[in-house]
């Protein structure tokens, strides 16, 4: 490492060239900010008769050093100030030429500071910027015309300095001499002597360079190569990878891609956004890739697939156009957590391990999984882990069946809700408030429909209206308990449809609404409705039943023959009887509400816990069970895995069941029969969780 101090004149003296590597960002200094500050420093230096002013450092790597040839250096820090000083010199030169004050300005500045005499092509220039800035800089150096509307910061800052020089606050001689007094520390690294540019760059970045994770990753991949290799790899892989992502979202979307790429490659959900750069470096050091090019090529290939999924405007290859409507549907459902797994499968399509149609079947499974769990109100806490590791279950020689089995074997809190659970949830769920409400009804309408609709222009319509002060016609149709019927069925699956005439229909009688439904574009949704002469509890329940059955087809379960499914079951699990949430007696809606609230509270504090449905109780476990729930007729009975004397119970809700015959683990029992108790109960459960030290 060589360290020297001097002016830009000394830095650019002799046959030398400073190259801005392709991995560096384009020139970004602003005229009214950084350029104005530099100009102010120069003016103050002259007015105060200062002999020196430090303007920063230049860190570069010696790329090619020859006593008789052209010495080339790659700048890894300091391109902004070096480029800006060069622009000031060009502006000073052009002012002198235009005013006729100095006929030698072209020689003294161009040939000494800006160009290498007797060199041709790119070697003629002391500085070579990145592709996006290079043309404008070369045109300015060579005094070629530049479009007056050019928005490049290179050109705008040149014009700024032309204006400042022309104002004659300082004479051209004072400006020239002052630039010589601007001290720059030049740090030149020599890789052959063991200097590590990447470590230096990371140190500089940690002290103020505002780079995104994708910027850091790009620099990491390219920095260790010589300039020709950098340019080749950048043009072949990195620039095309960047171009896959829309410019206005590029930084954020690329960072997310790198995270999902790592989740896929490492089969772990534990990749934090803040550590993507460090994780990529660690992965590269221990991966199958022998060179930076191999890693860059892999990132390019997966980036192509990833952006096919996330970017609805990207054109797919002809053989994959049938994927577009499925990808569009997934984006509407916000299925980002599935992307690591789906990228892996998509790449296997490209490798010929499965067909596009088989891929679509897998995409449909993922969609069904997400929709069913959303309707059943199963939190998405486990999605990260589920889809991060599912690729490990793929059997390339039985691809589709192995993926189906992987979905079907998900248990407990990661389960794929079966039809009975899905139908039960559809019958009870407030479908008006669900986030995917419109999506659900659009898909129900489009199932088997040769003229599918989109959601544009349609809103959710209540057939039985929302108005509490309903018309007499509605009261008559609903019966004496019309208020209870309205409250119970208003937002149910069977009472909602899609319409473009929501405001016009309002709370009109069913006899008037039905005429609109008959003319509606909704065929599947309104087929049953338009056959009715009245609308009440019975018709709503029947339509709910019909739509729920249809939903089981729209968002179907994976299907496998019993023999194939049993072959994929872990051997030790085959004899066990399987239970799910529908096994328990939740006839009392109040008890089901208590359970749902408790379940959500437990998953909030222990999202990685496993839920096991036993014959007589529901077990929540980390290292082992921490609470077991018995569903009773009018309450829940909880057994918390604590010794009674170690439970801190300020509210007196715990019962000592030591040595008593009870289903569950632990000596603490709590009866849960009021929602007011939930926070107090969670205080006890959290003690059992903390005891396990997880």
Q: Which pLDDT belongs to residue 681? A: 95
Tokens (6 digits) for 442: 């659009």
Give the helix ranges, DSSP H, for 103-180.
105, 131-141, 153-166, 172-180
For residue 519, count other CB atoms closer than 10 A to its CB: 10
Least confident of 178-192, 288-302, 535-549, 596-610: 178-192
531 in Cβ contact with 490 (< 8 Å): no
Inter-axis angle of helices 131-141 and 153-166, nearest 10: 30
Domain residue extents for the chain = 2-206, 213-420, 422-554, 584-691
DSSP assignment string, 227-264: HHHHHHHIIIIIHHHHHTS-GGGHHHHHHHHHHHHHHH
| 413: pLDDT strictly greater than 50 | yes
Query: What's the rounded Cα separation, in Å, for the pair 281 and 287?
Result: 10
Would you call 491 helix, strand, or coil by DSSP?
coil
Closest CA to 133 of 27, 228, 219: 27
Q: Which pLDDT belongs to residue 274? A: 82
Exposed/middle/buried for 628, CB within 10 Å: 0-12, 13-18, 19+? buried
User: Which neighbouring-strand residues pair with 636?
Assistant: 631, 672
What lies within 8 Å, CB to CB, of 240 at 6+ separation is 300
Identity of the highest mean pLDDT range in 109-123, 452-466, 538-552: 538-552
Helix (H) or strand (E) holding 5: strand 2-6
Closest CA to 178 of 292, 39, 66, 308: 39
Q: Which pLDDT belongs to residue 401? A: 97
For residue 220, count other CB atoms closer than 10 A to its CB: 19
Answer yes or no: pTM beyond 0.85. no
What is the arithmetic mean of pLDDT over 383-392? 89
| 65: pLDDT strictly greater than 70 | no
Reported confidence tier of residue 693, pLDDT bands at 50, 70, 90 = confident
Q: Which pLDDT belongs to residue 209? A: 43
What lies within 8 Å, CB to CB, of 680 at 6+ separation is 651, 653
Reported confidence tier of residue 196, pLDDT bands at 50, 70, 90 = low
| Top-tier CATH class for 584-691 | alpha beta
514 in Cβ contact with 526 (< 8 Å): no
The count of residues in the chain is 694
Reported confidence tier of residue 107, pLDDT bands at 50, 70, 90 = confident
Query: What's the rounded Cα separation, in Å, for the pair 237 and 297?
Result: 6
Query: What's the rounded Cα separation, in Å, for the pair 522 and 443?
Result: 11
Least confident of 86-100, 197-211, 385-399: 197-211
Q: Which pLDDT belongs to residue 207? A: 41
Inter-axis angle of helices 399-408 and 356-375, nearest 10: 10
Least confident of 275-284, 329-338, 415-424, 555-564: 275-284
Give the CA diameter of the chain: 106
DSSP state of 115: B
DSSP state of 393: G
Identity of the highest mean pLDDT range in 61-65, 108-112, 662-666, 688-692: 688-692
Q: pLDDT tens for residues 317-373?
A: 999 999 999 999 999 999 999 999 999 999 999 999 999 999 999 999 999 999 999
Least confident of 15-19, 83-87, 375-379, 570-574: 570-574
């Amino acid at each position: 490492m060589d360290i020297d101090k001097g002016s830009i004149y000394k830095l650019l003296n002799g046959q030398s060239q400073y190259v801005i590597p392709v991995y560096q960002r384009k020139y970004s200094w602003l005229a009214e900010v950084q350029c104005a500050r530099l100009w102010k420093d120069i003016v103050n230096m002259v007015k105060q008769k200062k002999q020196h002013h430090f303007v920063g450092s230049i860190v570069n790597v010696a790329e090619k050093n020859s006593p008789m040839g052209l010495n080339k250096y790659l700048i890894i820090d300091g391109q902004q100030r070096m480029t800006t000083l060069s622009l000031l010199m060009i502006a000073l030169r052009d002012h002198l030429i235009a005013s006729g004050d100095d006929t030698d300005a072209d020689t003294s500045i161009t040939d000494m500071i800006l160009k290498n005499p007797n060199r041709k092509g790119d070697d003629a220039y002391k500085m070579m910027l990145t592709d996006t800035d290079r043309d404008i800089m070369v045109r300015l150096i060579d005094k070629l015309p530049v479009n007056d509307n050019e928005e490049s910061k290179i050109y705008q800052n040149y014009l700024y300095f032309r204006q400042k020089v022309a104002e004659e606050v300082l004479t051209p001689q004072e400006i020239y001499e002052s630039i010589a007094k601007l001290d720059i520390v030049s740090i030149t690294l020599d890789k052959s002597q063991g200097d590590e540019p990447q470590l230096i760059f990371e140190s500089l970045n940690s002290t103020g360079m505002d780079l995104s994770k994708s910027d850091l990753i790009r620099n990491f991949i390219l920095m260790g190569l010589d300039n020709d290799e950098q340019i080749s790899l950048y043009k072949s892989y990195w620039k095309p990878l960047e171009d896959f992502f829309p410019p206005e979202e590029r930084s954020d979307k690329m960072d997310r891609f790198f995270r999902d790429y790592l989740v896929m490659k490492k089969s772990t959900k534990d990749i934090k956004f803040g550590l993507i750069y460090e994780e990529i470096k660690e992965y590269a050091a221990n991966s199958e890739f022998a060179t930076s090019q191999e890693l860059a090529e892999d990132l390019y290939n997966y980036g192509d697939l990833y952006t096919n999924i996330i970017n609805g405007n990207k054109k797919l290859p002809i053989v994959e156009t049938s994927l577009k409507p499925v990808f569009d549907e997934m984006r509407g459902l916000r299925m980002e957590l599935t992307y690591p797994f789906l990228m892996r499968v998509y790449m296997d399509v490209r490798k010929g391990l499965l067909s596009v149609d088989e891929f679509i079947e897998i995409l449909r499974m993922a969609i069904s999984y997400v929709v069913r769990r959303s309707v059943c109100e199963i939190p998405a806490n486990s999605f990260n882990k589920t889809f991060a590791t599912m690729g490990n279950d793929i059997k390339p020689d039985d691809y589709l069946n192995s993926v189906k089995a992987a979905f079907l074997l998900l248990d407990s809190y990661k389960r794929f809700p079966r039809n009975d659970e899905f139908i039960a949830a559809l019958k009870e769920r407030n479908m008006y408030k669900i986030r995917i409400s419109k999506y659900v009804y659009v898909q129900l309408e489009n199932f088997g429909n040769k003229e599918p609709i989109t959601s544009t222009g349609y809103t959710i319509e209540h057939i039985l209206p929302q108005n509490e002060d309903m018309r007499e016609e509605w009261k008559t149709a609903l019966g004496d308990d019309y208020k209870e019927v309205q409250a119970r069925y208003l937002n149910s699956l069977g009472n909602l449809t899609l319409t473009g005439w929501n405001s016009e229909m309002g709370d009109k009688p069913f006899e008037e609404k039905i005429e609109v439904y008959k003319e509606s574009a909704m065929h599947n949704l309104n087929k049953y409705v338009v056959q009715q002469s009245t609308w009440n509890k019975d018709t709503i329940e029947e339509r709910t039943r019909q739509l729920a059955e249809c939903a089981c087809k729209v968002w179907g379960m994976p299907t496998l023959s019993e023999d194939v499914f049993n072959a994929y079951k872990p051997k030790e699990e085959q004899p066990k009887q399987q239970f799910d949430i529908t096994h328990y007696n939740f006839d009392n809606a109040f008890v089901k509400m208590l359970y749902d609230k408790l379940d959500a509270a437990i998953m909030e504090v222990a999202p990685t816990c496993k839920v096991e449905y036993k014959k007589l109780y529901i077990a929540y476990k980390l290292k082992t069970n921490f609470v077991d729930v018995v569903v009773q007729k009018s309450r829940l009975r909880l057994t918390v895995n604590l010794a009674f004397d170690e439970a801190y119970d300020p509210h007196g809700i715990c019962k000592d069941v030591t040595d008593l015959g009870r289903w569950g683990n632990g000596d603490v029992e709590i009866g849960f029969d009021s929602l007011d108790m939930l926070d107090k109960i969670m205080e006890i459960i959290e003690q059992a969780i903390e005891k396990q030290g997880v």
